[in-house]
Structure 1
Amino acid sequence: MEKYRRKEVGLDQEPPLQPNEIRMSQNGKPKQYVQQVVDLLLDQTHPRVTITGLGATINKAVTVAEITKRRITQELKLGPLRQETDIENIKATDMWESVDGDLDA
């Protein structure tokens, strides 16, 4: 394996970010994401907010959804929120190239 290195990681094209969508990242803080979701819901231009997590950020996405749901109903005294959880698969392809030119690609 040391004679090969990863060339690229091919993920399917991600759709562009929608105005009512929040995508989790490894470095983001849940508190900031919760505030973004609350701001979108209080703005009332979007009746629905989508929180997206990929790979290791799935747990963070669910946590943000749960905290937001509790905060909206208890602290802000707004109507009940409904949480829908969808899990999907994304196909990724790893491409490897040989370090030495004489090895098979």
Structure 2
Amino acid sequence: MSPLRMIYLALAVWGAIHPMYYFVSWFQQNGWHLQPMIDAWYVNDATSGLVWDLTIAAIALTIWILAEVFARRNWLALIAIPATFGIGVSCGLPLYLFLRTRITETA
């Protein structure tokens, strides 16, 4: 595995674990209901801006993934979409880059 692919994989793992630590901590303190967390995301303009920034980035990433998956037939790369919306762009983007570079190395 190339050093670049190892970096992508490390970032995907970090992007999964680090945000989840904060999500789980929040749920443990505030209960395991999603609506209060969504409400917390919009508590002020700074958090609202961040939510919209990440939402737009997630949508753009999803469109890119879909376009490339259909062109390259790299169906495994589709798992980056639920990772993006279930965990975050911090996991989904490096995971997709990791999966995308797999094809170019074997070709």
TM-score where L is the length of structure 1: 0.29
TM-score (norm 2): 0.29
Q: Which has the higher strand share?
A: 1
Radius of gyration: which is bigger? 1
